[in-house]
Structure 1
Amino acid sequence: MSEAFNVAEIFGEDVFNDKVMRERLPKKVYKELKKTIDEGTPLDLSVADVVAEAMKNWAVEKGATHYTHIFQPLTGVTAEKHDSFITAPREDGTILMELSGKELIQGEPDASSFPSGGLRATFMARGYTAWDCTSPAYVRKDAAGAILCIPTAFCSYTGEALDKKTPLLRSMQAINEQSLRLLRLFGNTTSKKVTPSVGPEQEYFLVDKKKYLQRKDLIFTGRTLFGAMPPKGQEMDDHYFGTIRQRIAAYMKDVNEQLWKLGVTAKTQHNEVAPAQHELAPIYSEANVAVDQNQLVMKILKKTACEHGLHCLLHEKPFDGVNGSGKHNNWSITTDDGINLLDPGKTPHENIQFLLVLTCILKAVDEHADLLREAAADVGNDHRLGANEAPPAIISIFLGDQLDDVVAQLISTGSATHSITGDKLDTGVKTLPVFSKDATDRNRTSPFAFTGNKFEFRMVGSKDSIASPNIVLNTIVAEAFCEACDELEKAEDFEQCAHDLIKKYATEHQRIVFNGDGYSDEWVAEAERRGLPNLKSMVDAIPALVTEKSVSMFEKFHVYSKVELEARVEIQYEAYAKAINIEAKTMIDVASKQIVPAVIGYTKSLADTINAVTAAGAKATVQVGLLNETSDLLEETKAALGKLTELTAEAATIEDVEKQARFFHDSIVPAMAALRAPVDKLEMIVDKEAWPMPSYGDLLFEV
């Protein structure tokens, strides 16, 4: 990477963006393509041919030799197959470099080897990728050279969605249609399109690559399955927003440069709460672009770490006892002419359109809290949700003082007459400026918080795609808007009907609003009293996908069919069982081959020392005590290891995917905890030189 660069000059230089299209495409072709992007009109193959040629020429000029349809199968990560631009040799032995319109808009990867949940038989291989022209193509440069990456959707031969992008695009269509209905009722005749905008904050850990390679648990599972806490963790709060170490700063510089070239608006970087933990946050973009770019961010974070002798950990809880990592999904709804439907204005109590949008969202989240929780369900997230750095597993909405007061007025009197305004903040220091503060504080314990002109969904796991939560958010809000529009369109008195709906939704769904401490035991009891679901694990959350209300809603707005939902349920159960199985087998492997032999070696050393000291006529009381304690813990370790081995073998005999997943959750996860407990105690006793892997202290503080 260069030592210095001008961000404005390099930003988007490797993206086939609107500027490049205007320069390289004939005006008529450019207008046709823009019409498809902006209005969703079908793209003619003749137009695609011209676009493909221009895109290929642009990519070749940047050194590209191959192109790929990059898609998001139900593995949770991206997939790609590379094809070169070369065609069959000509008679004179030379070749042409080509990309046809058909090759641009359609690809055919093997669909049989990706998770399908029964949508595809394993012997039926055909699947299709379809160009998503609303998300720009780009040239990615890595060890393979320069590759033209074309964002695509992925579906089966019979049309079912085999990916995360297709239902996301469907959900964006749904919220666009219902939002426009609502806006028209309020007299807006100019906005032509409404799009969910998303800004995903990405948290991650960085550890030294050499130390990482000495930890089989990190290699196979992404998290430490054993590990005693070092003398210092995050107690001093000195890492959060602290000075970024030079090695990490150099890494962040390279990450930023690559992202900016690829059009990703990486804006904020800082140290997070836990040692070795950091965060990167972009500016908002349209939901499908944000999903694509977040996958690119994760890929570049990991790739660049290797170039700096580091390893990037995206697991939600790589280290027990310190904060885990999440991905805060900042969501809003904006029109093509710049109107944010979640902007309350200076006097929200007078903004009837905003209040209806707000109370519709209260209704949507309350009625589908289980579904929203499922959208953040992940094996790694089970370790994080409810801990000190993450929201609880109970969905609630934080509105803040200002909106909470407005909603309270609506519930009690049917109308709101005033809004709390922000005061001036005076620090008491004459040389510091006096400035206006917000009308409300923030609440870091809330899973779904209003933060001025957007909602921040804080539950999403750090390695997860943000597609699923945004599919759910778009669809449940589209449903609430639809039901409101159905009432408003037949009302004789529109204004009175709008006021009635606002009061009705605020009153009926006030249970979802909670502005207090989401970490407290009192809130758990209060949430139960309110009847809010508390789905503590991924296994508990999965059934929300196929409840009658979920299936009905998704089918109504053509986001998922029932069979697509049932397939995802099966995939989720399988994913949970496979992940825990890998963790259990890794624990068995590490304990059997590394930890038990190391401890046996240590006990032999202790025994030899005791014999030598005793033979010399001195007391060996301390050594004997250590030997007894170590031997007792070793015995406990061996018993727990045997039990985990036995249960893992039993799990393999369970054929029903749901029963198997629940067995892993109910039986194997506790057995893993039972094995870890004595091992972590042994780590505190055994000589550091004899311990077979780097400690938490080595990993967290020696970066």
Structure 2
Amino acid sequence: MNSRKLAIAKIAERKVEYSDNTPQYEIDKEYGKDVFGIRAMEQYLPRPAYKKLVETINAGTPIDSSIANDVAHAMKKWAMERGVTHYTHWFLPLNGLSAEKHDSFLDPSGEIGNAITRFSGKNLIVGEPDASSFPSGGLRSTFEARGYTAWDPTSPAFIKRTGKVATLCIPTAFCSYTGVVLDKKTPLLRSMQVLGQQAKRLLKCFGEDSDAKPSVTLGAEQEYFLIDKALYMLRPDLMQTGRTLFGAPPQKHQQLEDHYFGAIKPRILNFMSEVEKELWRMGIPAKTRHNEVAPAQFEIAPVFEELNVAVDHNMVTMETLQKIADRNDLVCLLHEKPFEGVNGSGKHNNWSISVGEKNLLNPGNNPHENAIFLTVLCAIIKAVDEHADLLRSSTANAGNDHRLGANEAPPAIISIFLGDQLTDIIEQLEKGEAKSSKHGSQIKVGVDTLPALPADVTDRNRTSPFAFTGNKFEFRAAGSSQSCANPNIMLNTIVAEAFDEISTYLESLPKEEFQKGLQKKLSEIIKAHKRIIFNGDGYKEEWKEEAKRRGLPNLRTTPEALKPLLDEKNIVMFEKYGVLNRVEMVSRYEVFIEEFTRKVLIEAGLSINISRTMIIPAISAYLSKLSSAANSPWKNAATDEIGKCAADSLSEVLNATKSLEAEFEKKADIEKIKEKMAHLRKCVDKAEGIVEDSLWPLPKYRELLFIY
């Protein structure tokens, strides 16, 4: 047997353990055990320090540095009681991953052989990782190495367990020696702050002057694939790039729609349960698990949390999925399009904003009477229309280029789905005053024993990049491997700008003219920006033409989508609100375009290597086998045809490989390299259907997607 067959045989021998006695598990008691949250703070901190820290967390007041030593001592004591020996400043650099450098609590004393443990307020507040070795877009040279991490008290410290090792992770921001931001957390916190300020200002225009803390919330649905590790190890493309560079679609994949919400296989269910229990210990509110549309694709979704914490938790969730998968001899693929021809994986970014207990995106029973909601809605419509390019740029990466536009992934054209009720109200507002709201009905299914179902006033639109879904907006274009930080930095900032402009106008109105002026303003916004509203099928070619007529940008590739980061109007906006300055904006463009280029070049080089060392030899071996039978008594026209077919396939693959090699050597035109890669893939995938199965070196889609 070849290596493929051996791997399959190994998987077939694996047995899932079953037990008639499921051990008792109390979620409420286990939840948050490895989080230095409110409960732990109250138990381990002196009362004055506890009150000050909680005030910073709950009300957003500046942290009192005088409590740093108390917090550090309490955090160390709590962590060491749970088996921790090391701590790390955990941060989110621009490479899209998390970063950590571990330091022990050990502090040798003056006596030989003796030591104490120490963790000071200074150790808690600031760290000094090397800032030149992370992506900076040219802001840091190799000899300019110093950088700083700064404790973020609004995101709780947690213990990450890997095997028998427990490490205290302290969420932090990351900047260079010159103060330039080199991470994703700092601009996220800035954008949350400015959006909260503008939201309170807008509410004040309506007579609601509140001391309550503004809150931006996020629920990040995470999609992923699982494949068996034994097969993964035979796919150099998956190991190096996270996606299959070659692979013909199997006869059966997702077309029968039998995987979505189907019964979860025992091995996968055990994996999911293990993931959830680990997440719950770290205070991550994993709520939903299910099979996704494509075979071997799954989803995990949390309860909504404060945006900053939710972004951190999503990063930890991705790491945990991969770690637990490895523990179960599986591999978790977070790439946006690991398999051609079936659904890709996204990260649905469910975003909302509140002030105190008031959700500004809750329409209420009669949305046409809810002036604050309608104003917020119009502000978001204005923001998304004016800055659709920025929202698209926040989802741009090499993986998402393969995903956007099909198989339940939204198109690259940004539009807003509002549904029947809100669209009707918007149309009324455009003409003058909104006087009515459509209401949902009841669905009777014709079975007396079943209850009548309350029908929502609007359907869902799976092809919309930016859809209103009840009391939030779901931004569906974000990729599964991406940090949620970028989309929300953009979203917060552009909505803050819209709130600012509307508030400035409303503040100028005399009290007696307020209602009339508000109505006039909302009508103007709708007339100017209604082009962004689209409730139809985003996959149809007609929509692309219609979007073009409306003047909506269609930034199909990452290089196109990243260019808005350099637009003067966008730089001016981010500088105005203090989220990113000019240097930071330009550096992000440089980092992201360089990352895209490097990933494509890695894929191209690997495509050539696999073709030269695995595919071409496999076709040649098949031809040799056919040739050895040339003088056999059963040689006839049919065998001649098979041989010619294989020989033609070898020529096609060889020529396509040479063509890609020539373009790859120049490294001048990335789009041409991508075209040549696509052509080589087409030739190789065709060969997969010609070469004898036992000679094909790469695990096939029918194995990767169905054997686990």
- TM-score when scaled to structure 1? 0.96
Q: Tell me the CA shift for residue 378 of structure 1.
A: 1.0
State which of 40, 44, 50 in structure 2 corresponds to 1:30.
50
Q: 2:485 — aligned with what? A: 467
Q: 1:686 — aligned with what? A: 691
Deviation digits for residues 606-660 of structure 1 (CA, Å, limit 9, x no counterpart): 111222x2xx3x4432221111111111111111111111111101xxxxxxxx5
In structure 2, C-alpha distance between the alignment counterparts of 1:330 and 1:464, rounded to whole Å? 15
What residue identity is the alignment partner of 2:678? A
Alpha carbons 2:60, 2:213 under 8 Å: kept: no
What residue identity is the alignment partner of 1:602? Y
Alpha carbons 1:175, 1:195 under 8 Å: kept: no
Alignment of 1:411-430 (within 5 A): 411-412=430-431, 414-430=432-448
In structure 1, C-alpha distance between the alignment counterparts of 2:637 and 2:570, rounded to whole Å? 66
Q: Give yes or no for the alignment of 1:702 onto 2:702.
A: no
What residue identity is the alignment partner of 2:359? N
Q: Give the match's secondary structure for 2:630.
A: helix
What residue identity is the alignment partner of 1:477? V
State which of 634, 639, 644 in structure 2 corresponds to 1:628.
644
Deviation digits for residues 568-613 of structure 1 (CA, Å, limit 9, x no counterpart): 11111101110000000111111111111111111100111222x2
Alignment of 1:442-591 (within 5 A): 442-492=460-510, 493-591=513-611
In structure 1, C-alpha distance between the alignment counterparts of 2:278 and 2:625, rounded to whole Å? 52
In structure 2, C-alpha distance between the alignment counterparts of 1:132 and 1:54, rounded to whole Å? 16
State which of 290, 313, 323 in structure 1 corresponds to 2:310.
290
Q: 1:259 — aligned with what? A: 279
Q: Tell me the CA shift for residue 380 of structure 1.
A: 0.3
In structure 1, C-alpha distance between the alignment counterparts of 2:235 and 2:515, rounded to whole Å? 64
Deviation digits for residues 526-545 of structure 1 (CA, Å, limit 9, x no counterpart): 00000000000111111111
Alpha carbons 1:610, 1:620 under 8 Å: kept: no
In structure 1, C-alpha distance between the alignment counterparts of 2:496 and 2:150, rounded to whole Å? 25
What residue identity is the alignment partner of 1:434? A
Alpha carbons 2:200, 2:210 under 8 Å: kept: no
What residue identity is the alignment partner of 1:290? A
Alpha carbons 2:405, 2:539 under 8 Å: kept: yes
In structure 1, C-alpha distance between the alignment counterparts of 2:75 and 2:526, rounded to whole Å? 51
Deviates more, 1:88-97 or 1:78-87: 88-97
Alpha carbons 1:399, 1:449 under 8 Å: kept: yes
In structure 2, C-alpha distance between the alignment counterparts of 1:191 and 1:498, rounded to whole Å? 24
State which of 131, 144, 153 in structure 2 corresponds to 1:111.
131
State which of 198, 207, 224 in structure 2 corresponds to 1:204.
224
Q: Give the match's secondary structure for 1:376.
A: coil
- 5+ residue gaps, structure 2, are 1-16
What residue identity is the alignment partner of 1:695? K
In structure 2, C-alpha distance between the alignment counterparts of 1:339 and 1:610, rounded to whole Å? 80
Alpha carbons 1:237, 1:273 under 8 Å: kept: yes
In structure 2, C-alpha distance between the alignment counterparts of 1:313 and 1:51, rounded to whole Å? 38
Q: Give yes or no for the alignment of 1:20 onto 2:25.
A: no
In structure 2, C-alpha distance between the alignment counterparts of 1:512 and 1:639, rounded to whole Å? 45
Deviation digits for residues 77-118 of structure 1 (CA, Å, limit 9, x no counterpart): 001000000012341632111110000010000011100001
What residue identity is the alignment partner of 2:559? V
Q: 2:146 — aligned with what? A: 126
Q: Give the match's secondary structure for 1:96.
A: strand
Q: 1:440 — aligned with what? A: 458
Q: Give the match's secondary structure for 1:205.
A: strand
Q: Give yes or no for the alignment of 1:43 onto 2:63.
A: yes
In structure 2, C-alpha distance between the alignment counterparts of 1:623 and 1:152, rounded to whole Å? 67
Alpha carbons 1:212, 1:219 under 8 Å: kept: yes
What residue identity is the alignment partner of 2:640? V
What residue identity is the alignment partner of 1:623? T
Alpha carbons 1:391, 1:458 under 8 Å: kept: yes
Alpha carbons 1:356, 1:501 under 8 Å: kept: no
Q: 1:606 — aligned with what? A: 626
Q: Give the match's secondary structure for 1:87.
A: strand
Q: 2:8 — aligned with what? A: none
Q: 1:275 — aligned with what? A: 295
In structure 2, C-alpha distance between the alignment counterparts of 1:428 and 1:45, rounded to whole Å? 65
Alpha carbons 2:200, 2:209 under 8 Å: kept: no
Deviates more, 1:267-276 or 1:89-98: 89-98
What residue identity is the alignment partner of 1:448? F
Q: Tell me the CA shift for residue 546 of structure 1.
A: 1.6
Alpha carbons 1:201, 1:280 under 8 Å: kept: yes
Alpha carbons 1:272, 1:278 under 8 Å: kept: yes
Q: 1:645 — aligned with what? A: 661
Stretches (4+) displaced over 4 A: none
In structure 2, C-alpha distance between the alignment counterparts of 1:89 and 1:623, rounded to whole Å? 82
Deviation digits for residues 109-155 of structure 1 (CA, Å, limit 9, x no counterpart): 00111000011122100000000100000011113600000000000
In structure 1, C-alpha distance between the alignment counterparts of 2:234 and 2:504, rounded to whole Å? 61
Alpha carbons 1:241, 1:270 under 8 Å: kept: yes
Q: Give the match's secondary structure for 1:73.
A: coil
In structure 2, C-alpha distance between the alignment counterparts of 1:224 and 1:175, rounded to whole Å? 41
State which of 144, 167, 184 in structure 2 corresponds to 1:147.
167
Q: Give the match's secondary structure for 2:117.
A: coil
Q: 2:351 — aligned with what? A: 331
Q: 2:359 — aligned with what? A: 340
What residue identity is the alignment partner of 2:67? V
Alignment of 1:43-82 (within 5 A): 43-82=63-102
Q: Give the match's secondary structure for 1:383.
A: helix
Q: Tell me the CA shift for residue 3 of structure 1.
A: 4.3
Alpha carbons 1:388, 1:519 under 8 Å: kept: no
Alpha carbons 1:200, 1:327 under 8 Å: kept: yes
Deviates more, 1:583-592 or 1:137-146: 137-146
What residue identity is the alignment partner of 1:435? L
Q: 2:410 — aligned with what? A: 391
Q: 2:419 — aligned with what? A: 400
Alpha carbons 2:87, 2:167 under 8 Å: kept: yes
Q: 1:193 — aligned with what? A: 213
Q: Tell me the CA shift for residue 38 of structure 1.
A: 3.3
Q: Give yes or no for the alignment of 1:100 onto 2:109.
A: no
Q: 1:674 — aligned with what? A: 679
What residue identity is the alignment partner of 1:633? S
Deviation digits for residues 365-420 of structure 1 (CA, Å, limit 9, x no counterpart): 000000000001111000010012200110000000000000011112x1111000
Q: Give the match's secondary structure for 2:620.
A: helix
Deviation digits for residues 171-219 of structure 1 (CA, Å, limit 9, x no counterpart): 0111011001011121223342212100000000000000000000000
Q: Give yes or no for the alignment of 1:184 onto 2:204.
A: yes
Q: Tell me the CA shift for residue 429 of structure 1.
A: 1.3
In structure 2, C-alpha distance between the alignment counterparts of 1:44 and 1:466, rounded to whole Å? 29
Q: What percentage of residue pairs aligned between the two structures are identical?
A: 53
Please provide the CA RMSD for this pair. Answer: 1.2
- 5+ residue gaps, structure 1, are 652-659
Q: Give the match's secondary structure for 1:563.
A: helix
In structure 2, C-alpha distance between the alignment counterparts of 1:202 and 1:191, rounded to whole Å? 34
Deviates more, 1:180-189 or 1:201-210: 180-189
Q: Give yes or no for the alignment of 1:354 onto 2:370.
A: no
Q: Tell me the CA shift for residue 40 of structure 1.
A: 3.9
Q: Give the match's secondary structure for 1:324.
A: coil
State which of 350, 374, 379 in structure 1 corresponds to 2:393.
374
